[in-house]
Structure 1
């Protein structure tokens, strides 16, 4: 793996999601301008005001970064980071993050602060390091990919937020209602590492984030640090048992649940055993349709993320 051409003078090409409001976007631009001016670093901001412009702006930023030997930077939540990473993967450009989401698992796993000014200092003073990328078919995921109940939870949450506002209690109520309604099981055939398994499950969750898995207590938490992904399938069960499972996760004891099937892999094929040709898949919280079969794998190309050598929060979870 050859690192991208990079220097402390490389310009920043920033894709900024303004969806959270013009005031927040203006503040972020101010932080970027002040920080870059202090070290005489060039930058350009691509401000995304409409969701359908995100992928176009990301491609434009990558194109310019390749010409200028610059750094492609995602400023936003998981969806923004995912879209910019999709464009940057394999481009030969360094990649940076100014996290502005709720959980920020990707940035926290790699030691990047959630505060914009502090994250900018990482961008200005650290170097690119190779970071594993997960793929499902041709779609990137940095944190997780899922189908079934978990994807439905995310989809319902966004619908509730659009109607009632982006508040934590709205997300909680939405998730509770989705669980109480229940979900039809999926019948899947999975093959990996020469092994095969037929499974009846309410959700299939593929993880590529060590911090998130450590937080809920999964034994496979360090798989992404070892060049692998982790698959977690949930056996069908009722609403009360599901709520109990969520409580286990909140306490960091999810791995003790007998209703979970989990294992690690580098590549895995998932085929439907009954009829489905297309399926809704959530990748880093963004819902989209994909054709079956699903091909989950570790990308041959890493992201060259500008990050510190040590991630304190991740190290703390291992102690």
Structure 2
């Protein structure tokens, strides 16, 4: 029987890549998958490697965090091959949304089982993303959640980054146009999700699914410190509809404009600026995932 051939691309700078990548080739070989493996020192080259090396393989396997997956996505979609996910990042929100375990041996088993699922892909200014693109407070968090702090503290870096971000963030006015409707809001955070989880375990909406064909959007009005504390459980569990300071909507296309250009945080990376156009490609990505009934 012919063994499956995989292109394995690992971001060696991801949170647990140094420890977790040891033996991955052997794990995949035991599971019946032969690999040609790449560990590009520059994470920006992940997509280039996939574009150059995907001919002749049956699947693409990416080891890294949410930023690595998102940055590789354009090349994966162009290759039209199923994606295997090895969660090696700090938060691994996309893997969490799919029920892919953090244990890499179990993640390899899911790939070897060969069961695929088709999930939605979001687009912001034509750049694909998997989890959430956001403006405002989360951008400040991303600026602090990096470098030595992120490397040493990993997921524990998020609370410290939130505290620093709270000191520096400022409210802003935003115009939101969606499906032939328009509104203007003064807010501190706006998020547009094609997935379910983001930001180290937060939930865009308890109703959101990775394959529901919708963008889920929320905007948060300026809050006091006590207001933020009251909001935190709902950010965690996706129950923001309980709060009058939060505007919720779902749409298939959204345009966001601000008076001055503002950075957009896409799956944990700052990649573009407003004005931003968001859309959804339903079930555009095929990937290896657990049985949905067992998630």
The TM-score, its normalising length taken from structure 2, stands at 0.87
Distance in 2, matches of 1:301 and 1:86, equals 15
What secondary structure is seen at the aligned counterpart in 2 of 1:308? coil
**Number of aligned residue pairs:** 294
Show the counterpart of 1:178.
165
Distance in 1, matches of 2:188 and 2:179, equals 23
More helix by share: 1
Show the counterpart of 1:316.
none
Show the counterpart of 1:317.
none
Are residues 1:38 and 2:30 paired? yes
Measured on the aligned residues, the alpha-carbon RMSD in Å equals 2.8
The TM-score, its normalising length taken from structure 1, stands at 0.81
Show the counterpart of 2:211.
225
Matches within 5 A, 1:99-110: 99-110=87-98
1:182–1:238 CA contact under 8 A, matched in 2: no
Are residues 1:56 and 2:45 paired? yes
Unaligned runs of 5+ in 2: none
> Which of 66, 76, 89 is the matching residue for 1:88?
76
For each residue in 1:178-217, what CA deviation from the matched residue of structure 2 results, as whole angstroms up to 9, or x when unmatched?
Answer: 21x253222111111111111111111112223569x767
Deviation at 1:18, TM superposition (A): 1.2
Mark the CA change 1:204 to 1:251 in structure 2 (over 3 Å): closer, same or farther: closer
More strand by share: 2
Deviation at 1:116, TM superposition (A): 0.6
> Which of 25, 28, 31 is the matching residue for 2:21?
28
Question: Which piece of structure 1 moves more, 120-129 or 299-308?
Answer: 299-308
Deviation at 1:245, TM superposition (A): 1.6
Unaligned runs of 5+ in 1: 1-6, 314-319
Show the counterpart of 2:291.
309
For each residue in 1:1-43, what CA deviation from the matched residue of structure 2 results, as whole angstroms up to 9, or x when unmatched?
Answer: xxxxxx983311111111158x95365241x222233244210
Deviation at 1:128, TM superposition (A): 3.1
Are residues 1:294 and 2:276 paired? yes
Distance in 1, matches of 2:282 and 2:32, equals 35
1:99–1:107 CA contact under 8 A, matched in 2: yes
2:132–2:266 CA contact under 8 A, matched in 1: yes
Mark the CA change 1:170 to 1:307 in structure 2 (over 3 Å): closer, same or farther: closer
Matches within 5 A, 1:58-207: 58-65=47-54, 67-158=55-146, 161=149, 165-179=152-166, 181=167, 183-207=169-193
